[in-house]
Each structure stands twice: as structure tokens, then as C-alpha cells.
Amino acid sequence: NAGVTQTPKFQVLKTGQSMTLQCAQDMNHNSMYWYRQDPGMGLRLIYYSASEGTTDKGEVPNGYNVSRLNKREFSLRLESAAPSQTSVYFCAIRTHLQAQETQYFGPGTRLLVL
């Protein structure tokens, strides 16, 4: 997962607490994405940013906010965590791989909300 880093790797929160998940890329790509993946399920798009300074909602944006302050970083914030937000969160960037257009994923952040 070189090129896309996510912090923290694992986090436990109590209901109502807030936190920010960080994602950073060193590949100089414009588009960045946040997904969540619940156990046994596919990934669902939360928010994405097509370029620096722009953000748009994905499939499941409720309960989340994002910030794209610069080209390198795209953060995801939970203002008041709920148990339903227990999931694995993946950040991804749009990139070219093997001369094709694709998304490249970070290692993920595992979030447990009690």
C-alpha cells in the first residue's frame, strides 16, 4: 500500500465521541475517496474528492464530514460516533496502473464504536 497511508490503524470509541481519520498520498493524484466496509460486505463510498478543495457525497455520507485541505490529504471526521459506524474504513486514490485507470487503496482503519 505504498503511496497511501492511513492513521490510525485501529481505534476504539465510545458512542458520542468524535474523531478524525487521516489519509495521505504521496502520488500527486487529484481524486481521493473514503469507503467503509462492514463485515462480509462490499465497500460503500462515503465521500470523494475529485480535486483539491472539492468534495462530494457518495452512497452513505450521513454521520460523516470530510476535508480536502490540500492535494495530499483527505480526512474523514465522525462528529458523534455511533455503534453503526463500526467498520473498516479505506481511503483510495485514483491512479494509473498497468496503463489503466483504477483506484489504489490504503491499508484501512479499523474502527470499533462501543
Q: Rule CB under 8 A: is residue 108 a binding residue for another protein?
A: yes
- Of 5, 7, 58, 65, the one binding another protein (CB under 8 A) is 58
- 90 is a site residue for another protein (CB under 8 A): yes
Smaller CB separation from another protein, 17 or 86? 86
Amino acid at 97: L
Q: What length does the chain have?
A: 114
How would DSSP label each residue in 56-91?
A: EE-S--TT-EEE--SSSB-EEEESS--GGG-EEEEE
CB of 49 to another protein, least distance (A): 9
Q: Is there binding between residue 106 and another protein (CB under 8 A)? A: yes
- Which one among 34, 64, 74, 104 touches another protein, defined by CB under 8 A? 104
Q: Which residues, including other chains, have CB under 8 Å from residue 32's CB and lie 6 or more apart?
A: 23, 25, 48, 49, 68, 74, 91, 92, 93, 94
Determine the interface stretch with another protein among 11-19, 47-55, 63-71, 74-82 (rule: CB under 8 A). 47-55
Q: How far apart are CA 4 and CA 107, in angstroms?
A: 8
User: Which residues here bind another protein, judged by CB under 8 A?
Assistant: 1, 31, 33, 35, 41-45, 48, 50-51, 56, 58-59, 90, 92, 94, 97-98, 100-108
